[in-house]
Amino acid sequence: MNKIEPSFRPGGKFAKLESVYDGMETFLFTPNTTSRLGAHIHDGNDLKRTMITVVVALLPALLFGMYNIGYQHYLAIGQAHTGWFTMFLFGLLAMLPIIVVSYGVGLGIEFISAQIHHKEIQEGFLVTGILIPLIVPINTPLWMTAVATAFAVIFAKEVFGGTGMNIFNVALITRAFLFFAYPSRMSGDEAFVKVDSAFGLGDGTLADTFTGATPLGQVATNVGDSLQMTDILGKPISCMDAFIGFIPGSPGETSMIAILIGAAILLLTGIASWRIMCSVFVGGLGMAALAHALPSATYPASMLDPMTQLCLGGFAFGAVFMATDPVTGARTNVGQYIYGLLIGVFAILIRVYNSGYPEGMMLAILLMNAFAPLIDHCVVSSNIKRRARRAAAKE
Partner 1 sequence: MATVRLKKGFDIHLVGAISDGTIVTASLPQSVAVVPDDFHGVIPRMEKKEGEHVIAGEPLYHDKNYEAIKVVAPVSGTIKEVRRGERRHIDAIIISPDQNSEALTHDLKRPAEEVLLGSGLWAMMRQRPYDVVPVPGVRPRDVFVTAFDSAPLAPDLGIVLGDKRKYIAKGVEVLNGMTDGKVYIGIREGQDLEAPGAEVTTFVGPHPAGNVGIQAANTVPVNKGETVWTMDIITLARIGELFSTGKVSHDTVVAVDGEMVQQPRYVQTVMGADLETVLKNELTNVAKSRIISGNVLTGVKVEASQWLRAPYRHVTIIPENNKPDEFMGWASLNPKRFSIYRTFTTWLGGLSKPVSMDSRIKGGERAIVRTGEYDAMLPMDIYGEFLIKAIISGDIDKMEQLGIYEIAPEDFALAEFADTSKLELQHIVRVGLDKLRAEMS
Contacts of 96 (CB under 8 A, 6+ apart): none
Cβ distance to partner 1 smaller for residue 293 or 391:
391
Work out how close the CB of 338 gets to partner 1 at its nearest, in angstroms, rounded to a whole number.
14
Contacts of 333 (CB under 8 A, 6+ apart): 275
Cβ distance to partner 1 smaller for residue 25 or 241:
25
Cβ distance to partner 1 smaller for residue 185 or 331:
331
Work out how close the CB of 366 gets to partner 1 at its nearest, in angstroms, rounded to a whole number.
19
Work out how close the CB of 176 gets to partner 1 at its nearest, in angstroms, rounded to a whole number.
22
CA diameter of the chain: 83
- Residues pairing with 230 in the sheet: 236
Secondary structure letter of residue 140 according to DSSP: S
Q: How many CB atoms lie within 10 A of CB 382?
A: 11
Work out how close the CB of 66 gets to partner 1 at its nearest, in angstroms, rounded to a whole number.
23
Work out how close the CB of 1 gets to partner 1 at its nearest, in angstroms, rounded to a whole number.
8
Work out how close the CB of 369 gets to partner 1 at its nearest, in angstroms, rounded to a whole number.
14
Cβ distance to partner 1 smaller for residue 221 or 333:
333
Cα–Cα dist 317/132, whole Å: 12
Cβ distance to partner 1 smaller for residue 91 or 329:
329
Cβ distance to partner 1 smaller for residue 181 or 388:
388
Residues of this chain that interact with partner 1 (CB under 8 A) are 2, 26-50, 52-53, 120, 122-124, 161-165, 268-271, 273, 326-327, 329, 331-333, 336, 376, 380, 383-384, 386-388, 390-391, 394
Cβ distance to partner 1 smaller for residue 242 or 276:
276
Cα–Cα dist 201/220, whole Å: 33
The vertex-190 CA angle with 314 and 308, nearest 5°, equals 30
Rounded to the nearest angstrom, the gap between the alpha carbon of residue 73 and the centroid of all alpha carbons in its chain is 23
Work out how close the CB of 65 gets to partner 1 at its nearest, in angstroms, rounded to a whole number.
24
Q: Is the dihedral of CA 136, 138, 144, 149 positive or negative?
A: positive
Which of 373, 276, 262, 280 minimizes the C-alpha distance to 328? Answer: 373
Secondary structure letter of residue 312 according to DSSP: S
